[in-house]
Amino acid sequence: MTPEVTVRRARPSDAPQMARVHVTSWQQTYRGVMPDSVLDDPDLLQARERFWTGALTDERWRANHAAVAELDGTVVGIAMSGPSQEPDATEHFQLHLIYLDAAHHGSGAGPALLHAVLDPDEPAAVWVADPNPRAHAFYRKHRFAPDGHSRTAEGVREVRWTRPAGSR
């Protein structure tokens, strides 16, 4: 019998495991897209742990929704959404991130995380690294599409994808 991945709201005590998934996912996904100096930075894990501790405890981020996918008590996926931060956004919510350890791709955890942090009937936006064919296919499956906006952040080209209301 295969253990099932469960998704739940993130807690501050999850920050170390969330940081590990965040860093591991970046290393699995963005090698060749993001500078190696970022991916191999020995302080990256501590920096992500500080990020997650703040994201889960600081009042400034209380409107955000964070969730984890867990298997046998180990966090294998993370997601966070919140109010849009884009001045030109027509969507109220933005998926800030969703990462899943590559060993759990195809497990159903990705869609479960997405639905845990975003109402599937509400419009939303997400910035997606480009190229990233796996992520593009995932978002396309969930009715997101590129809206024509792009940017470069920390040396990574990103394309904004949006989803209309009533996306189920």
The CATH number given to whatever domain includes residue 44 is: 3.40.630.30
What is this structure's pTM? 0.94
Structural domain that includes position 72: 6-163
pLDDT given for residue 2 in this prediction: 57
Helix (H) or strand (E) holding 132: none
| Residue 151 placed within a domain | yes
Q: How confident is the model at residue 4 (pLDDT cuts 50, 70, 90)?
A: confident
Band of residue 153 on the pLDDT scale cut at 50, 70, 90? confident
1 within domain boundaries: no
User: Within a domain: residue 117?
Assistant: yes
> Do the Cβ atoms of 10 and 67 come closer than 8 Å?
yes
pLDDT in tens, 13-69: 999 999 999 999 999 999 999 999 999 999 999 999 999 999 999 999 999 999 999
